[in-house]
């Protein structure tokens, strides 16, 4: 009968026990690459995109949001001036929202209204739509939006006498960076029957 040395049996048993009790490190699974979802600048369905495309989309969205805020501030000041009958010099609010040829044209109109005693009363200018104008640039602008405004609830007066109602207008507004601030630097506009016909 063959006898194995006791030490060898214990050593083999200990090794087996050690192997069974030693935790094995799990096979690392590769972490998925970060995925991004982008929306086209002009609107539409989301799509998979790179981080660079996503960052560019976020920056453009911020520009459009700032452009809308600047436009709404300008519109509010324009209404205030129209109700008061005009101004000779630009107000701080106008200087904050507009520049260049656009500002000069607005001031010329305010001076003319002041001279001819044209004011408005009642109603509001209702912004019916604001649309991004992708890729449209003019005079160094970096972003552009199209607005449709219904001002038909407004009464126009000349020397205190009623002369007509406000209009429905569509304006393409161009925004540029002036002293690190986004301002309206140009616009193209036309009259419409209604904003639904834009």
Distance of CA 168 to the CA centre of its chain: 23
50, part of any domain: yes
pLDDT tens track for 109-133: 999 999 999 999 999 999 999 999 9
Would you say residue 78 lies in a domain? yes
- Cα four-point dihedral sign 180, 183, 185, 188: positive
| pTM for the model | 0.79
pLDDT of 26:
60
111: tokens are: 């001076």
In a domain, 100, yes or no: yes
CATH (domain of 112): 3.10.450.50
For the ranges 2-11, 100-109, 171-180, the lowest mean pLDDT is seen at 2-11
Residue 174 lies in a domain: yes
In a domain, 98, yes or no: yes
| Number of structural domains the chain divides into | 1
| Signed CA dihedral, 164, 168, 172, 176: sign only | positive
Tokens of 182: 């986004």
Name the residue range of residue 186's domain.
Answer: 46-197
């Amino acid at each position: 009968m063959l006898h194995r040395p006791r030490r060898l049996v214990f050593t083999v048993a200990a090794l087996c026990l050690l192997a069974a009790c030693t935790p094995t490190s799990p096979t690392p699974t590769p972490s998925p690459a970060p995925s991004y979802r982008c929306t086209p600048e002009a609107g539409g369905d989301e799509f998979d995109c790179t981080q660079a495309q996503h960052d560019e989309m976020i920056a453009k969205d911020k520009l459009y949001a700032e452009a809308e805020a600047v436009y709404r501030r300008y519109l509010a000041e324009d209404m205030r001036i129209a109700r008061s009958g005009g101004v000779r010099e630009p107000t701080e609010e106008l200087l904050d929202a507009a520049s260049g040829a656009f500002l000069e044209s607005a001031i010329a109109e305010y001076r003319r209204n002041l001279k001819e005693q044209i004011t408005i009363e009642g109603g509001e200018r209702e912004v019916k739509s604001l649309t991004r104008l992708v890729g449209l640039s003019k005079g160094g602008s970096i972003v552009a939006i199209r607005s449709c405004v219904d001002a038909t609830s407004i009464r126009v007066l000349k020397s205190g006498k009623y002369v007509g109602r406000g209009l429905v207008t569509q304006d393409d507004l161009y925004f540029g960076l002036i002293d690190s601030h986004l301002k309206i630097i140009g616009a193209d506009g036309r009259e419409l029957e209604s904003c639904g016909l834009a």
